[in-house]
């Protein structure tokens, strides 16, 4: 792996584990096995490297989610697959956690990929739900935008509850709960 790649991957890991403030250039260099000179050869500084790492994390998250959203099946099947996909629940969402980092949220450049990714996620879920409504799978009373925002909020909140309890159980309960609410919107012709 090239030095620039090792630096980005190390920064991604450290941001997820420690946040922006807790991620020092020295820690990045140590984890990447790179010297200070190579870090500054590839990146202008910590903010530039953090932006590359955040963008990579956001792109990876979107790609993984899109696998479920574009798979065959009903809208509910695809949203369910997304919610139940493999996750490191107790570590939290690598993008969602950044919203709790005042240094990331206070910097418009670092904040942008976080905001864009969460907005994309809400929009993509709304599109899947709209498809389900249009195909007669979900009843017309379902508001795809509102439900998509609810799904994302429950998912992010589930991470918080799981981390607070040091158990995946609250996360699993939150996911089961939101899917129960969605199931109530299955069109009577599909029940």
* pLDDT tens by residue, 4-60: 899 999 999 999 888 898 898 899 989 998 887 888 888 888 899 999 999 999 999
Quick one: average pLDDT of 143-149? 97
Helix spans in 135-168 (H): 144-165
**If residue 110 lies in a helix (H) or strand (E), which one and from where to where?**
helix 108-134
pLDDT of residue 153: 97
Does the reported pTM lie above 0.95?
no
* Three-class DSSP category at 179: helix
Closest CA to 100 of 181, 27, 156: 156
The CB density around residue 70, as the number of other CB atoms within 10 Å, is 10
The model's pLDDT over 101-141, given as tens digits with 9 standing for 90+, comes to 999 999 999 999 999 999 999 999 999 999 999 999 999 99
**Residue 189 pLDDT exceeds 80:** no
SS3 track for 51-109: HHHHHHHHHHHHHHHHHHHCCCCCHHHHHHHHHHCCCCHHHCCCCHHHHHCHHHHCCHH
- pLDDT value at 1 more than 70: no
Q: Please give the pLDDT value at position 190.
A: 59
> ∠108-40-15 over CA atoms, to 5°?
50
Q: Is the dihedral of CA 163, 166, 171, 177 positive or negative?
A: negative
Task: Tell which wins on pLDDT, 17 or 165.
Answer: 165
In whole angstroms, give the CA distance from residue 110 to residue 19: 12
Quote the CA–CA distance of 167 and 35 in Å, as a whole number: 38
Per-residue pLDDT at 148 exceeds 70? yes
pLDDT band at 177 (very low <50, low <70, confident <90, very high): very high
Is there a contact between 99 and 105 (Cβ–Cβ < 8 Å)?
yes
The pLDDT of residue 39: 83
């Amino acid at each position: 792996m090239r030095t620039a790649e090792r630096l980005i991957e190390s920064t991604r890991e450290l941001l997820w584990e420690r946040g922006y403030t807790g991620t020092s250039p020295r820690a990045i260099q140590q984890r990447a096995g790179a010297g200070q000179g190579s870090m500054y050869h590839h990146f202008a500084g910590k903010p530039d490297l953090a932006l590359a790492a955040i963008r990579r994390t956001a792109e990876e998250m979107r790609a993984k989610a899109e696998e479920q959203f574009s798979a065959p099946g009903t809208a509910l099947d695809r949203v369910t697959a997304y919610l139940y996909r493999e996750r490191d629940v107790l570590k939290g969402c690598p993008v969602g956690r950044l919203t709790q980092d005042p240094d990331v949220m206070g910097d418009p450049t670092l904040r942008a990929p976080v905001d864009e990714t969460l907005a994309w996620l809400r929009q993509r879920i709304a599109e899947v739900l709209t498809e389900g409504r249009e195909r007669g799978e979900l009843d017309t009373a379902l508001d795809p935008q509102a439900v998509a925002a609810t799904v994302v909020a429950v998912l992010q909140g589930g991470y918080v509850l799981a981390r607070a309890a040091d158990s995946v159980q609250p996360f699993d309960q939150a996911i089961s709960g939101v899917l129960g609410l969605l199931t109530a919107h299955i069109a009577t012709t599909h029940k």
